[in-house]
Amino acid sequence: MAMTDPKRIRNFSIIAHIDHGKSTLADRILELTGLVADRDKRDQYLDRMDLERERGITIKAQTVRIPFTAADGQEYILNLIDTPGHVDFSYEVSRSLAACEGALLVVDATQGVEAQTLANVFLALDNDLEIIPVLNKIDLPSAEPERILQEIEEAIGLDCSEALMVSAKTGDGVPEVLERILRDVPPPAGAKEAPLKALIFDSWYDPYQGVVVLFRILDGFMNDGQRIQMFSSKKEFEITQLGMFAPEPQRVNYLGPGEVGFLFASIKDLTDARVGDTITAASNPTATPFPDFKKIQPMVFCGLYPSEPSQYEPLKKSLERLQLNDAAFNFDPETSQALGFGFRCGFLGLLHMEIIQERLEREFQAQLIATAPSVAYQVTTIDGATFTIDNPSELPAREQIEEIAEPYVRMEIHVPNEYVGSVLTLCEEKRGIQKDMRYMTSSRVIITYELPFAEIVFDFFDRLKSVTRGFASMDYEVIGFFPADLVKLDILINGEPMDAMSTIAHRDKAYHRGRALALKLKRTIPRQLFEVIIQAAIGNKIVAKERNAPLRKNVTAKCYGGDITRKRKLLEKQKEGKRRMKQMGNVEIPQEAFMAALSLDED
């Protein structure tokens, strides 16, 4: 096979707010170009993992090479590079975009510009991409193409006079999308003679082949069998297989400038092929790697403990396997006085954490106790040492602390104007500092706040959703650590400190939180055969005390006169609860109690 002339290549992504139809449009494109025959067709071909399909989100970037005969009779190669669709993965999105020259900006014609539409557009503009506006779902009676086009022009400043109107569902307008990509997305401009320079925009672990690396060549070319070097670590590997997804993996002997492909090189560790790194030739390395390579840092942490000590080793193995496939996830052994031996795990954000926890339970059937998530804090002690803690129980004693700094995010919230008041109230309650508020259109407002990340970890998204009836969309990025007046809030059960339940709170809120948490725990921890005293403490000061009276009779005796269904329900519920109980001393504590800190404000 001859090397493809870069003039005949177009590399593009699809960017959109969640649910605006990115995956559906990708499916129609594959179908239209004959890549996925009807009988193999399954919806949302690009979302390969079951979990992603169930949740309807795209986590791992996937790419497809699409041969396409244009109206002018010429053969072209379109490389569609899929991007992850959630804020937690914005670095991965930006690296996928860096591998392209253009992007289809898909906007739902019934919804308009949302927070992640804008965030993704900015990432695309940062990467100098040609942006093609595409209005989707025009088959729906509620579509308002005129209004939405105006919104895009006003909010983004993008010329929409030639915007495409499509229905990814029916396929209407999709052929025009392909022709437009050929016309407007510039072909790649790389130098064939220059040293090899390729960008890693995705990588994952395959149990049979080791690490699979997806890359885009900027300059030079890559041969099967070649020795390559990872620029950041200078580690060298020999390519054992070079290929491309068409859409199934297909082996090739070489790839040239502008091409997108995958390689295997007996790489065992995903951290040796990080997204954003530059691949070059071991014999003749490039002097100019891709800029902005960064090792992504986890921002949210929680403890994961086996519910039985005998499950420690299996849990460790499961975590190791998950880590193989996710360079952004990390874990270290930790010991809790209350929970015993377990692991401190770090995630990019809350969604990432949920996904990992779900995968653990699903794929490895591990029984877990997860502690409430926390952010990292920077602590400076009076003797001048500064360090980061990712577990509230590690906070030194008050008298040793000079300063505690917590991470802040800058958040943009898009909301119809009737909900502005509720959003402001919520952000103020969460210690936010308003930075900006402007009308995007006469009825939609963009509110910008700086907020402590810790406050977001505690139930912010659910609250935002409920106060705006689901009409708000948001996007955020971490902007740095800032000092705050923070204290540790401890929980004691029958006088024993429960280190796994410690949280860090702002001094102004700690007292109220302590009381709310104690009350919530009283409700969550089932009554036992003896009295259970639940206390909340700040330093040595007890700020709340609740008491669960001992259980005297059989639980079912509590049920009203012989209502058998209710009785059965209660018993089933108890059984369910049993699976996730942790014996602490002699008190049985259910999983929900460890998460109690997350939803205090609703009560």
Ligand X SMILES: Nc1nc2c(ncn2[C@@H]2O[C@H](COP(=O)(O)OP(=O)(O)OP(=O)(O)O)[C@@H](O)[C@H]2O)c(=O)[nH]1
Should residue 58 be labelled a site residue for ligand X when binding is judged by CB under 6 A?
yes
Using CB under 6 A, pick the residue from 61, 65, 85, 590 that binds ligand X.
85
- What's the closest the beta carbon of residue 87 comes to ligand X, in angstroms? 12
* 3-class DSSP state of 70: coil
Residue 268 token pair: 């065992």
Alpha carbon distance 562, 564 (integer Å): 6
Residue 335, annotated as binding a ligand:
no
CA–CA distance from 332 to each of 152, 341, 365 (Å)?
45, 11, 20
Binding window for ligand X (CB under 6 A); candidates: 14-22, 395-403, 495-503, 594-602: 14-22
Rounded to a whole number of angstroms, the minimum distance from the CB of residue 69 to ligand X is 25
Nearer to ligand X, 171 or 539 (CB): 171
Q: State the pairing for strand pair 9-16/102-108.
A: parallel
Tokens 């510039």 belong to residue: 186
Is 22 annotated among the ligand-binding residues? Answer: yes
CA 107 to CA 284: how far, in whole Å? 44
Contact range with ligand X by CB under 6 A, out of 16-24, 180-188, 202-210, 379-387: 16-24
Nearer to ligand X, 41 or 573 (CB): 41
Q: Is 41 in the site for ligand X (CB under 6 A)?
A: no
CA distances for 467 relative to 112, 421, 450, angstroms = 20, 10, 19
Instruction: Give the H or E element holding residue 492.
Output: strand 486-493
Q: Which residue, 22 or 430, is less far from ligand X as judged by CB?
A: 22
Write out the two tokens for 273. 């092929």
Residue ranges in 21-40 that form contacts with ligand X under rule CB under 6 A: 21-24
Instruction: Tell me if 19 is assigned to a ligand binding site.
Output: yes
Nearest distance from C-beta of residue 59 to ligand X, angstroms: 9
Size of the site for ligand X (CB under 6 A): 19
Q: Is 465 annotated as a binding residue?
A: no
Query: Would you count residue 582 as binding ligand X (CB under 6 A)?
Result: no
Q: Tell which one of 19, 144, 179, 496 touches ligand X (CB under 6 A).
A: 19
Interface of this chain with ligand X, residues 143 to 182, rule: CB under 6 A? 167-169
- CA contacts within 13 A on the Cβ side of 286: 27
Does residue 327 contact residue 281 with C-beta atoms inside 8 Å?
A: no
Taking CB under 6 A as the rule, which mask of x and - marks residues 526-565 in contact with ligand X?
Answer: ----------------------------------------
> Are residues 45 and 222 in contact, defined by beta-carbon separation less than 8 angstroms?
no
Our finding on whether 57 is near ligand X (CB under 6 A) is: yes
Q: Determine if residue 136 is labeled as part of a ligand binding site.
A: yes
Rule CB under 6 A: is residue 120 a binding residue for ligand X? no
Report the residue count for the chain. Answer: 603
State yes or no: 127 annotated in a binding site.
no
The reply to whether 159 sits in an annotated binding site is: no
Token pair 């860090």 is found at: 504
Rounded Cα–Cα distance for residues 326 and 461 (Å): 24
- CA distances, 337 to each of 499, 553, 584, 585 (Å): 6, 31, 9, 10
23 in a labelled binding site: yes
Nearest alpha-carbon partner for 262 in 423, 89, 422, 61:
61
In the complex with ligand X, which residue's Cβ is closer, 47 or 450? 47
Which residues are part of a known binding site for GTP? 19-24, 136-139
Binding site for ligand X (CB under 6 A): 16, 18-24, 56-58, 85, 136-137, 139-140, 167-169
Which residues are part of a known binding site? 19-24, 136-139
